[in-house]
Structure 1
Amino acid sequence: MQYVASAGICRANMPAFPRTLVRPLRGKLSGYAVAIGLAIIATILRQAADNLLPPGFPFLTFFPAVIVTAFVAGRGPGALCGVLSLLSSWYFFIPPANTFVLSAPVATALLFFAAVVIVDVLLIDGLQQRQEKLVESQRQLAAMADQQTLLFQELQHRVANNLASVSAMLRIKRRQIERAPESALALLESADQRIELMGRVHRQLYDPAARELALPEQIENVVAQAQDVAGASHVTVIVSAVDARLAIDRMMTLMLLITEVLNNSIKHAFPEGSAGEVRLTLDRVAAGRLRLTIADNGKGLTPEAAGTPRHNGLGTAITKGFATQLGGTISVDGSKGVTTVVEFPEG
């Protein structure tokens, strides 16, 4: 909760850059119309103030016109207003009036005006671009804060669910140990493997660097983790999966189901380290519906083996629980090896 509060505080402290002050006129036509209009207004105001001003102020009303145009319409309209202002001040207010006579003093004055206009327009345009980048950065930071808050809530929910699963598993192990105390070491080792694998899968799926991986890559990584924890280098796992979209909590459930079925195959289908193969397939059977098939070429389930832990024990209970969490159905065929099929909705 402290993290969520921190994220909220960070968002509250982010500076607000109002978008309305960042070049409000976006259309080219309206921007250039404003440039022409302000140049005309500046000419009229300068003409009205001509009797009030001493000689030598031909550009007085044109600088504000250029600055305002650049602020509201951007660099192009600002430049156009500057050109029109230069021509208007040159023609109407630089002696000799109503002519475009060019002399050294006139050229100097015009160059000065042009230089100031260019600097003003470029500065305003640079500031606006910087402000737009800051606004975009603020938007991205807000989105990241929202995403991390959501991830934290998902993580908190998943940790609670995983701890509940571990607690239920340990209760079942305790009852098994009470019935057969001599199996305590093997049962505790099995529980340790399940908990370690659950932790690895949890870290993988909630690693920010791995969240952009496609679902087939996520499955391959989880399969490698399961083989590593079980020490099952003698078992070959072939993965073929479509790139489906799953919410992070449902993906976690799917990965834990996969590891549980693989763990059962590794422990029971290939005894004493014998080589074997497991084929894992995830495909679409209909719009918005997926089918997971995990099939091994091990010894299968004979009528005598139907009562073994693999068929009725903790592993089977766990896989059925995961299938239920996915909102799907599960079926197991043990006639030729063991094939587990789970159908569930995508999303």
Structure 2
Amino acid sequence: MPAAVAAPAPPLLRLFDATAGLRARPAIGYAVATIGFLVALGLRIAIGDALVGYPYVTFFPVVVIATFLGGVGPGIFAAVLGGLTAWWLFIPPFRSFALLWPETVIALAFYVLVVGVEILLIHVMDVSLRRLAAEEARARALLDAQRTLFHELQHRVSNNMAFVAALLTLQRRHVGGHPAALAALDAARARLDVMGRIHRRLYDPEVAQGGLDRILSDLCGDVVAAAGATRVVCTVRTAPVEIAHHRLVTLSLVVTELLTNALKHAYAPDAPGAVDLSLEVEPDGRVRLVIADDGRELPEGFEQETRQGLGMRIVGELARQLDATIAWERRPRGTAVVVRFPAG
């Protein structure tokens, strides 16, 4: 289950998120509001008559900064300080709280409207951000729980496969001298062992990060070791291709059966050799898997004869699940099996 990569948040949201801790400590906001008010007052006095008719202009930024860093309380505090001071010092009649119509009323109404909208917008952003953070925390917790359950399920499936394989081993002791039955039990147990390893490997996050090349390389190593072909070297080459996870399990089983078949028929016991496994995307978008060995050539009629065997019947059923075609090619030295299937 690969982890999803979240899109980066806009700069404003990142800044808002970074200052969330300050808004949780109102004392800082009130200090910022007080200092900002004094700075704005000094700047307004220094500018003097150049801003006649704009009594509140230097106080608006203070309200925004105080609300942004401290929350609603410090924002309202800064707005009240700035509004009353501007009314007293910069709205005629000066040094008076006289309410004249329409000059004073309109100026005060405009100020209240602007700072009210500023505080409201920042408050809504703060609430929305906190809700988003809570939702993300719940989503992460749910994802962690699902991942834990998923891995537990995969662990149980692998253990069940190992248990069935062990039962087949025990059952083998009661078969007696029936070579065909013993061979069938041994083949079934070997397939279960390989399937268990495939299952654990495909659902291992560390292995999955290594990509398809690592998955198939480890799989080839398992099959070669299970076949006892210690002198056969398996080389894997894969092109970048996206294969759905459930199809990757089926593909791994196809590789297992075909590689086992190649090791069984192409080489004598303890003989050296080289098997090359390649996977690439063809121009029409289909995936082409080739398993080529340098062992003995196929006898005439090999493909038709082996279709009746259990291994080839398994391969045929798996190929139908992949919507794949399988063909054997005789080469100057050895044999190649070519599997073509859709990538999706």
Shorter-chain TM band: 0.5 to 0.7
Report the AA paired with residue 321 of structure 1.
E
Structure 2 residue 248 is matched with structure 1 residue 251: yes
Cα distance in 1 for residues equivalent to 2:238 and 2:303 = 30
Cα distance in 1 for residues equivalent to 2:296 and 2:248 = 30
Task: Please give the per-residue CA displacement for 1:145-187, whole angstroms capped at 9, x wherever unaligned.
Answer: 67788x69x979xx7xx98xx99xx9xxx9xx99x93344344
Structure 2 residue 85 is matched with structure 1 residue 90: yes
Task: Please give the per-residue CA displacement for 1:235-276, whole angstroms capped at 9, x wherever unaligned.
Answer: 111111122212221100000111111111222211111010
Report the AA paired with residue 332 of structure 1.
W
Structure 2 residue 320 is matched with structure 1 residue 286: no
Q: Which of residues 322, 326, 329 in structure 1 aligns to 2:318?
A: 322
Cα distance in 2 for residues equivalent to 1:245 and 1:128 = 37
Q: Which runs of 5+ in 2 are unaligned?
A: 1-15, 18-58, 96-118
Q: Which residue of 2 aligns with 1:39?
A: none
Structure 2 residue 203 is matched with structure 1 residue 206: yes
Relative contact order, higher structure (CA 8 A, sep 6+)? 1
- Deviation at residue 142 of structure 1 after TM alignment: 4.6
Q: Which residue of 1 aligns with 2:135?
A: 135
Identity level (%): 30
Report the AA paired with residue 233 of structure 1.
T
Q: Secondary structure at the match of 1:272?
A: coil
Task: Please give the per-residue CA displacement for 1:198-252, whole angstroms capped at 9, x wherever unaligned.
Answer: 1110111123443444222221122222223233331111111122212221100
How many residues end up aligned between the 2 structures?
247
Residues 98 and 214 of structure 1: is their aligned pair in 2 closer, same or farther, counting only changes over 3 Å? Answer: farther
Q: Is residue 238–residue 278 contact of structure 1 (8 Å, CA) maintained in 2?
A: yes
Residues 93 and 226 of structure 1: is their aligned pair in 2 closer, same or farther, counting only changes over 3 Å? Answer: farther
Task: Please give the per-residue CA displacement for 1:304-338, whole angstroms capped at 9, x wherever unaligned.
Answer: 86787x66522222222211110111111245422
Report the AA paired with residue 139 of structure 1.
A
Q: Which residue of 1 aligns with 2:296?
A: 299
Q: How does 1:1-347 map to 2 (within 5 A)?
A: 70=67, 74-75=68-69, 83-92=78-87, 131-142=131-142, 181-303=178-300, 312-334=308-330, 336-347=333-344
Cα distance in 1 for residues equivalent to 2:291 and 2:330 = 12
Report the AA paired with residue 291 of structure 1.
R
Cα distance in 2 for residues equivalent to 1:299 and 1:341 = 17
Cα distance in 2 for residues equivalent to 1:75 and 1:183 = 80
- Deviation at residue 83 of structure 1 after TM alignment: 4.7
Q: Is residue 235–residue 278 contact of structure 1 (8 Å, CA) maintained in 2?
A: yes
Q: Which runs of 5+ in 1 are unaligned?
A: 1-21, 24-61, 101-119
Residues 325 and 225 of structure 1: is their aligned pair in 2 closer, same or farther, counting only changes over 3 Å? Answer: same
Cα distance in 2 for residues equivalent to 1:318 and 1:264 = 12
Q: Which residue of 2 aligns with 1:6?
A: none
Q: Secondary structure at the match of 1:279?
A: strand
Q: Secondary structure at the match of 2:81?
A: helix
Residues 225 and 88 of structure 1: is their aligned pair in 2 closer, same or farther, counting only changes over 3 Å? Answer: same
Task: Please give the per-residue CA displacement for 1:269-290, whole angstroms capped at 9, x wherever unaligned.
Answer: 1111101000111111134310
Q: Is residue 266–residue 296 contact of structure 2 (8 Å, CA) maintained in 1?
A: yes
Cα distance in 2 for residues equivalent to 1:283 and 1:222 = 18
Q: Which residue of 2 aligns with 1:3?
A: none
Cα distance in 2 for residues equivalent to 1:127 and 1:305 = 72
Q: Which residue of 2 aligns with 1:112?
A: none
Report the AA paired with residue 253 of structure 2.
L
Cα distance in 1 for residues equivalent to 2:259 and 2:277 = 9
Residues 212 and 148 of structure 1: is their aligned pair in 2 closer, same or farther, counting only changes over 3 Å? Answer: farther
Report the AA paired with residue 198 of structure 1.
M
State TM-score, norm by structure 2: 0.56
Q: Is residue 240–residue 281 contact of structure 1 (8 Å, CA) maintained in 2?
A: yes
Residues 146 and 188 of structure 1: is their aligned pair in 2 closer, same or farther, counting only changes over 3 Å? Answer: closer
Q: Is residue 289–residue 344 contact of structure 1 (8 Å, CA) maintained in 2?
A: yes
Residues 343 and 76 of structure 1: is their aligned pair in 2 closer, same or farther, counting only changes over 3 Å? Answer: farther
Residues 208 and 193 of structure 1: is their aligned pair in 2 closer, same or farther, counting only changes over 3 Å? Answer: same
- Deviation at residue 300 of structure 1 after TM alignment: 2.0
State TM-score, norm by structure 1: 0.56
Report the AA paired with residue 315 of structure 2.
T
